């Protein structure tokens, strides 16, 4: 088997830089042909990984959700499987797959590469600049503002960066009006701070924004909050951090296949913790579109 290992040497402020080399060495020890691609910027990573996968049979993404997002653009919707080594500051997809550490992933490489891939759903995001695939949560409004601000906080430790971005965004809380059409139905307008389309339960390193979402049900989970005054929003945010906000009557949760989002304002769209474009977007489910390889923990 020809395995392509794609790693982000800048993940976790460079502290995960050696993990990609360790993974590539382990793959070679197991008797596989290996190509190691390492680039700190997303564009370079995407181009190099896409080229390497012309000959590759499987892709190992070493890094956080940003690295996984790059990998999805290469193998999503294809027959080539993906294995995730969670070496980033945010590892929401890996956590959802039960991969909780670098050591677990490396120890399980032999079993994973020999295993039959499992399938999970993806989100297809059509936006004015093109198409992107995502595994996690497509966010606009508050969630996207936090993501953008978090990516700029280079001097804040990665373990608290997302939380720091939440605080900073709260100080500049901004409601936006969104035009929403679900499964081709009637258009509805929401003026809100929270608007998201989820495939996975969590974002931002474990925040359960869509606790009822599943990556294996062939559906998306749309989450919209009503317009709230500042104190009420703070209370709802506390519930969101605990994953109990979906039971609040001011929060609408809808399982669906497609969600169209538009706004008269210029709104950034984020997915898997990465900026993918701007509104308007059409999000649609891609059932079973990603084949994933899962490591077996030592002794299992």
CATH topology of domain 132-287: Tumour Suppressor Smad4 (2.60.200)
Any residues with CB less than 8 A from the CB of 5 and at least 6 apart, and which? 20, 23, 24, 27, 34, 35, 36, 37, 60, 62
- 81, 61 in Cβ contact below 8 A? no
**pLDDT for res 296:** 66
Q: Please compute, for residue 139, the number of CA atoms within 13 A of its CA located in the half-sphere on the CB side.
A: 27
Q: Where are the domains of the chain?
A: 2-115, 132-287
**pLDDT for res 94:** 97
∠205-174-235 over CA atoms, to 5°? 60
Rg (CA), the chain: 19
Any residues with CB less than 8 A from the CB of 226 and at least 6 apart, and which? 190, 192, 250, 251, 252
**pLDDT for res 42:** 81
The owner of tokens 């899962």 is: 294
* Tens-level pLDDT at each residue, the chain (300 residues): 999 999 987 766 555 669 999 999 999 999 999 999 998 788 889 999 999 999 999 999 999 999 999 999 999 999 999 999 999 888 999 999 999 999 999 999 999 999 999 999 999 999 999 999 999 999 998 888 988 888 788 788 767 777 888 889 988 888 999 999 999 999 999 999 999 999 999 988 888 999 999 999 999 999 999 998 889 988 988 898 888 999 999 999 999 999 999 999 999 999 998 999 999 999 999 999 999 999 864 333
CATH topology of domain 2-115: Rossmann fold (3.40.50)
- The backbone region for 137, taken as left when phi is positive above 0, alpha when psi lies in -120 to 50, beta otherwise, is beta
């Amino acid at each position: 088997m020809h395995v392509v290992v794609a790693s982000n040497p800048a993940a976790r402020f460079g502290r995960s830089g050696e993990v990609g080399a360790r993974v590539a060495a382990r793959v070679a020890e197991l008797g596989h042909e290996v190509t190691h691609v390492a680039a700190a910027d997303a564009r370079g990573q995407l181009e190099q990984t896409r080229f390497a996968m012309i000959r590759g049979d499987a892709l190992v993404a070493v890094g956080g959700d940003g690295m996984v997002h790059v990998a999805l653009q290469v193998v999503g919707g294809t027959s080539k499987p993906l294995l995730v080594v969670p070496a980033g500051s945010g590892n929401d997809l890996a956590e959802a797959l039960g991969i909780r550490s670098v050591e677990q992933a490396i120890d399980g490489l032999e079993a994973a590469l020999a295993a039959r891939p499992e399938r999970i759903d993806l989100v297809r995001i059509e936006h004015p600049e093109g198409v992107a695939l995502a595994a996690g949560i497509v966010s606009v409004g508050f969630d996207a503002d936090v993501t953008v601000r978090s990516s700029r906080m280079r001097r804040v430790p990665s373990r608290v960066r997302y939380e720091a971005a939440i605080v900073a965004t709260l100080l500049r809380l901004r409601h936006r009006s969104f035009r929403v059409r679900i499964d081709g139905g009637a258009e509805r307008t929401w003026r809100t701070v929270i608007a998201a389309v989820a495939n996975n339960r969590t974002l931002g390193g474990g925040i359960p924004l869509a606790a009822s979402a599943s990556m294996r049900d062939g559906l998306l989970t749309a989450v919209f909050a009503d317009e709230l005054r500042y104190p009420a929003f703070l209370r709802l945010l506390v519930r969101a951090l605990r994953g109990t906000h979906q039971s609040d009557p001011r929060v609408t949760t809808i399982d669906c296949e497609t969600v169209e989002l538009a706004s008269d304002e210029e709104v950034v769209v984020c997915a898997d913790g990465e900026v993918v474009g701007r509104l308007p977007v059409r999000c649609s489910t891609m059932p079973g579109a990603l084949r994933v390889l899962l490591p077996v923990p030592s002794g299992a």
